[in-house]
Amino acid sequence: MATTVPLFGLNLTDHTLSEAAEYVAACVRGGGEQTINFVNAHCVNIAAKDKNYFAVLRASNVLYADGIGMRLTARMTSVSFRDNVNGTDLFPCLCRLAAQRNIRIGLLGAEPGVARLAADNMKSQYNGLSIPFVQDGYFAENNIDGILESINVAGVDLLLVALGVPKQELFIHRFRQQLNVPVAMGVGALFDFYSGRVCRAPAWIRRAGMEWFFRLLLEPQRLASRYLFGNVMFLGRALVRRIQGRHVLQFKSL
């Protein structure tokens, strides 16, 4: 059984990537409904200002720590995560297992055409992979009921929602009871990467925990506030809590 690491009032599961993929696959066949989300520095900054979003994260069945900021913060509490479990690295592991175990994946989000291209790319790499539902993220509120029905009719086992933080987590939470899907997961910019629309950082940059800087260089206008000001604000919160002698970094008063 995986251990959990409490940070900012959230219980983060300490899985490796392969363990996380196996866990998701087991949840698909295990009955019940699971909601899985990823928490990075940006998520924590938003949750500090949005109590509803914080509550939605806490209501998730599983949370994974994503990114160097979360790893550094964990080290302040004298613990460390065994792996950086993020949606983008987890996706090919999930596709491999899905192709082997007849797990049907649904993709919801991103700009028109992006999710479809990501689906086609992954199906070309994993023989037998089934992605029976694909929908971009540019839909009107009055179309949501039809989208939910299409997901259910398609028999999706694993729904990946890429609407950005916090919209994707709020969407899943709002409609979870209407989705007959064993596992739903918020995945951020994942479809952009696997469609080829956005270039990922080389593996050595990712291993060094500097993928955020690579993305900043590619999209400085869009990401400057999030990665420069946001990262400083996040680390400042963590450092203040550590200086105050709090072994576990609580979320209150952040």
State the pairing for strand pair 4-7/10-13: antiparallel
Answer whether residue 214 is part of any domain.
no
Q: How much of the chain exceeds pLDDT 90, in percent?
A: 65
Answer whether residue 150 is part of any domain.
yes
**Half-sphere exposure of residue 230: CA atoms within 13 angstroms, side-chain side:** 20
Q: What angle do CA 249, 246, 77 make, to 5 degrees?
A: 60
Answer whether residue 238 is part of any domain.
no
> Does residue 246 have a pLDDT over 60?
no
Answer whether residue 21 is part of any domain.
yes
Answer whether residue 151 is part of any domain.
yes
Q: Are 87 and 187 in contact (CB under 8 A)?
A: yes
Answer whether residue 34 is part of any domain.
yes
Mean pLDDT across the chain, nearest whole number? 88
pTM, two decimal places = 0.88
Of 44-48, 60-64, 202-206, which gets the smallest average pLDDT? 202-206
Q: Number of structural domains, the chain?
A: 1
144: domain range?
4-203
> Does residue 145 have a pLDDT over 70?
yes
pLDDT at res. 238: 72
111 by Cβ neighbours in 10 Å (0-12 / 13-18 / 19+) ranks as middle
Which residue would you say has higher pLDDT here, 139 or 78? 139
Answer whether residue 56 is part of any domain.
yes
Provide the pLDDT confidence category of residue 74 given band limits of 50, 70 and 90.
confident
pLDDT, tens digit, for every residue of 102-129?
A: 999 999 999 999 999 999 999 999 999 9
Average pLDDT over residues 231-237: 71
Answer whether residue 99 is part of any domain.
yes
Q: Are 182 and 27 in contact (CB under 8 A)?
A: yes
